[in-house]
Amino acid sequence: MLRRRIFPIIGAVIVFIVCVCVLYAGDNVGLSDNGDFRRVLLTNNIEYKDDTDCNYLFKEDYRMILDNDKSFFGAIGSSWKMNKEEEIYKSPHFLIIKMSKVMNVIGNAITRRPLSDYHIAYLAIIYVLMLSFAAWVMFTFFSDYPVKIQITVFVVFLFIFCDAGYLLYFNSFYGEPLQYTSLMLLIAIGILIYKRPTVPKVILFFVALYFFAGSKLANIAFSLIAAFLAVLMVIMRKDKLFRVGVILSAVICMINIISLYVEIPEWMDNDTTYQAVFLGITQNSDDPKSDLRELGVDEKYAVLAGTHAYMDKDEYPIDIKTDEFREDFYSKVSKFDIALFYIKHPIRLLRETIHAIENSSYIRPPVLGNSTDTPMKLTGKWSVWSKLRVSLKFLYTSWIVLIAFIGITAYMVFLNVLYAHNHKNESAQRKYMIYASNILILGLWINMLLPIICNGEADIAKHMFLFTNCIDILFALGIIAIVSSGFKTTVKAVAITAIVTTVLNIEPLHKTVEFGKLWGKPIKWEIMEEYSDGTKLLVTKECIAYMPFDEKSNNWEESELRKWLNNGFLTEFSASDRERIEDTQNKVFLTYDNRAAKEGGNHAHYWNFTPSLVNDGGEDAYYKNVTDTVFIPTLPIMSKMSRSDAYWVMCPYTSNSSMMRFMNSDGFILHTGVNNEKGIRPALRVR
């Protein structure tokens, strides 16, 4: 009995310690701002102390705007106030931020710092406590199970759900950490209700559901469905007090969730609608004019296809801030219209769904830096699951995920039909689990499709966070179920997983040749393509060196790397070898700042880290044709290459002039500062 009580407490304490160490042991880490912080900071009267490169560096220190920053009690009262001058939206996320502001004032008073100082660690500690509490509840539920199951649950929670990919969000102003911790609380309290249903647990469940709904306003639809279905908790006990508690809690929760939806500001709804149409439906369409006509929008706006709502006004071919555009577009298109469009075009929806699934590989979006001093430096602390997850491609391979979802859904339909025929003979616990499973499966489908319908491809990797989280939860449940089935089943599952992972990670083989020399050794090349004129496109089999792209600029034409490849690199090539090399003209993307040199294109090339999609939007992006003897892999070439190391590719991070993109060793396209060292895999065309 004592062991059953101590195990959950010790487990929760370890979870707390690990979380704190990941965030603050050694270099402090968190997530940089992608622009979403602004509305949260404005609403909560917080501002940057130093906003230099805030889009690429994790910032710890901020300043609270207080009416009274001299008096302790005045500062406490002022820290609770919100900015009424801004058009804000309602969210329980702001309650968590207010609590962190109060904690900062108290901490500042104790340490004798200015009362207006704000350190984001206080916000992170709230999330850590919430996650630790969820861990304690889960460990309490499993305390009656065999020791091997308890150990499995503890290890799975520690290595999957305490991974840095999840925890880095805690040091940020994004809604994802509240979404994550409230979801874990929902699951933890839900299984505890299954074990011992009481009114306080039910109330806590619906409070967590409200916080989940408000953490990201895209969660509102699913949360309302979940609240409605959760009323079925009444089957767990027959006494009136319990049933009244369930119904009353559910009604109050649904009223508050509806109020969140009603108070969504118009600008937020307009921006997401714009993204869903112009960075979703029309972006890769064969006939964007026809799509707009079907939506009831004038086809003259087809020129906006591929643009998003947060570009500089000079980048738009049409002014989207006019009353005419507001009347012609925003007044005619709603999320319902977009959903109806995809229902009529299921193949288009499938294509976008595949895109979304492929963008769920990383737990945290690779566009967000987590270092305080080096832009886009990614931490390796406690990231075993983050790295392993990318290797386990079946978790985000679209056809596998879709087949699995369809299979699970079909199985749940079968269980529900069976339950409908035998519901009188079913136990309350079994009924509860069927209802809970229905909510989970419904949530998976909604979380997969909703980002597409509500926001198109804009920030799709970040918006797939909840989907990724749910997939990890399913995977964790699978591990627990397999371990509970016995040693032989576990061995078989591990073997199957290893085989599937190996097969999915097999890379295409290319013919190799030796051509030229570097530092006295022959260079091995892979033949990427053979042309009808007898020439071949070669790329080195491995990285031949590691060096910066340039000291400060991502302009390929003027880069130090280009100068070296077309001069120093060729020094040891024989005269006959040099004669065989033909100059190659490549289409090189330009940043927004360098658009004056463009030969074509009407907007910057938008960022996508998935290899199969990385060139999307390239047809309309700013570009210039550059002729080289030797160059680095372009995006079309890169999609065919092996991925054994991290190497530069011919694509600047176009919203910033000092960052360049590179192929990471895990097969995804990331970006970093041009002065950082990455591998070099030269490419050339030879006769």
Q: What is the pLDDT of residue 459?
A: 83
Each residue's pLDDT tens digit, 97-142: 999 999 999 999 999 999 999 999 999 999 999 999 999 999 999 9
Give 666's pLDDT tier (boundaries 50, 70, 90): confident
Q: Are 100 and 60 in contact (CB under 8 A)?
A: no
CA dihedral 96, 100, 106, 109 (to 10 degrees): -150
Q: Are 136 and 153 in contact (CB under 8 A)?
A: no
Direct distance between the N- and C-terminal alpha carbons of the chain, in angstroms, rounded to an integer: 79
Q: What is the pLDDT of residue 247?
A: 93
Q: Are strands 117-119 and 61-64 parallel, antiparallel or unpaired?
A: antiparallel
Distance CA 422, CA 419 (A): 5
Integer-rounded Cα radius of gyration of the chain: 27
**Could you tell me the two tokens for 614?**
């990385």
Q: Are 642 and 573 in contact (CB under 8 A)?
A: no
Strand partners, 623: 589, 600
Distance CA 202, CA 418 (A): 28
Q: Return the closest-CA partner of residue 121 out of 181, 63, 170, 48.
A: 170
Give 616's pLDDT tier (boundaries 50, 70, 90): low
How many C-beta atoms lie closer than 10 Å to residue 194's C-beta?
17
**Could you tell me the two tokens for 677?**
């060292």
Adjacency order of strands within the sheet including 659-663: 545-547, 678-680, 647-652, 659-663, 669-673
**Could you tell me the two tokens for 209?**
């559901």
- Check whether 259 has a pLDDT greater than 80: yes
- Check whether 328 has a pLDDT greater than 80: yes
- Check whether 618 has a pLDDT greater than 70: no
Q: Are 79 and 102 in contact (CB under 8 A)?
A: yes
Each residue's pLDDT tens digit, 489-523: 889 999 999 999 888 888 778 899 999 999 989 99
The crossing angle, in degrees rounded to 10, of helices 176-195 and 465-485 is: 30
Each residue's pLDDT tens digit, 39-58: 899 889 999 988 777 778 89
Composition of the chain by helix, strand, coil, percent to 5: 55, 10, 30
Q: Which residue has the higher pLDDT, 511 or 84?
A: 511
User: Which of left, alpha, beta for 317 (phi over 0: left; psi -120 to 50: alpha)?
Assistant: alpha
Q: What is the pLDDT of residue 235?
A: 85
Q: What is the pLDDT of residue 620?
A: 74
The sign of the dihedral angle between the CA atoms of 492, 495, 499, 501 is positive
Alpha helices of 362-427 — where are they, by DSSP H? 384-391, 398-422
Distance CA 153, CA 609 (A): 33
Q: What is the pLDDT of residue 507?
A: 78
Distance CA 299, CA 289 (A): 5
How many C-beta atoms lie closer than 10 Å to residue 406's C-beta?
10
Mean pLDDT of the 662-682 span? 89
Q: Identify the DSSP state of 113.
A: -
How many C-beta atoms lie closer than 10 Å to residue 452's C-beta?
25
SS3 of residue 585 by DSSP: strand
Q: What is the pLDDT of residue 207?
A: 96
Containing 483, the helix (H) or strand (E) segment is helix 465-485
What is the value of pTM for the model shown? 0.91
Distance CA 377, CA 511 (A): 35
Residues belonging to the chain: 687
SS3 of residue 582 by DSSP: strand
Mean pLDDT of the 63-67 span? 90
Q: What is the pLDDT of residue 617?
A: 61
Q: What is the pLDDT of residue 2?
A: 58
Q: What number of helices (H) and strands (E) belong to the chain?
A: 25, 15
Alpha helices of 196-219 — where are they, by DSSP H? 199-215
Q: Are 632 and 648 in contact (CB under 8 A)?
A: yes
Q: Which residue has the higher pLDDT, 421 or 360?
A: 360
Give 242's pLDDT tier (boundaries 50, 70, 90): very high
Question: Is 232 exposed, middle or buried, given 0-12, 13-18 or 19+ CB atoms closer than 10 A?
Answer: middle
Distance CA 176, CA 465 (A): 8
- Check whether 336 has a pLDDT greater than 70: yes
| List of residues 6+ apart from 315 with CB closer than 8 A | 307, 592, 602, 603, 604
What residue spans define the domains of the chain? 2-262, 266-504, 512-686
Question: If you write DSSP's letter for every residue of 241-288 in order, what string do you get?
Answer: HHHHHHHHHHHHHHHHHHHHHHT--HHHHHHHHHHHIIIIITTT-S-H
- Check whether 315 has a pLDDT greater than 80: no
Longest dimension (CA), the chain: 93
Distances (CA, A) of 635 to 305, 347, 648: 22, 26, 11
Distance CA 1, CA 538 (A): 68
- Check whether 622 has a pLDDT greater than 80: yes
Our measurement of the distance from residue 207's CA atom to the centroid of its chain's CA atoms, rounded to an integer in Å, reads 25
Mean pLDDT of the 291-310 span? 89
Q: Identify the DSSP state of 570.
A: G
Comparing 98-102, 189-193, 477-481, 636-640, the range with the smallest average pLDDT is 636-640
Average pLDDT over the chain, rounded to an integer: 89
Q: What is the pLDDT of residue 311?
A: 80
Three-class secondary structure assignment of 587-639: EEECCCCCHHHCCECCECCCCCCCHHHCCCCHHHECEEEEEECCECCCHHHHC
Q: Return the closest-CA partner of residue 673 out of 409, 371, 247.
A: 371
Mean pLDDT of the 673-685 span? 92
Distance CA 588, CA 581 (A): 20
Q: What is the pLDDT of residue 237?
A: 85
Containing 167, the helix (H) or strand (E) segment is helix 164-167
**Could you tell me the two tokens for 253?**
């929760």
Distance CA 404, CA 589 (A): 39
Mean pLDDT of the 146-153 span? 93
SS3 of residue 652 by DSSP: strand
Give 635's pLDDT tier (boundaries 50, 70, 90): confident
Distance CA 143, CA 7 (A): 7
Q: Are 609 and 366 in contact (CB under 8 A)?
A: yes
Give 3's pLDDT tier (boundaries 50, 70, 90): low
Percent above pLDDT 90 for the chain: 52
Q: Which long-range contacts (CB under 8 A, 24 or more apart) does 441-447 make?
A: 441/408, 441/409, 441/412, 442/222, 442/225, 443/222, 443/226, 443/470, 444/405, 444/408, 444/470, 444/471, 444/474, 445/405, 445/409, 446/221, 446/222, 446/225, 447/222
What residue type is 33 in one-letter code?
D
Q: What is the pLDDT of residue 87?
A: 59
Containing 370, the helix (H) or strand (E) segment is none
Distance CA 400, CA 429 (A): 31
Q: What is the pLDDT of residue 373?
A: 82
Of 73-87, 305-319, 350-364, give the range with the top mean pLDDT.
350-364
Q: Are 360 and 464 in contact (CB under 8 A)?
A: yes
Give 85's pLDDT tier (boundaries 50, 70, 90): low
Comparing 304-313, 519-528, 644-653, the range with the smallest average pLDDT is 304-313
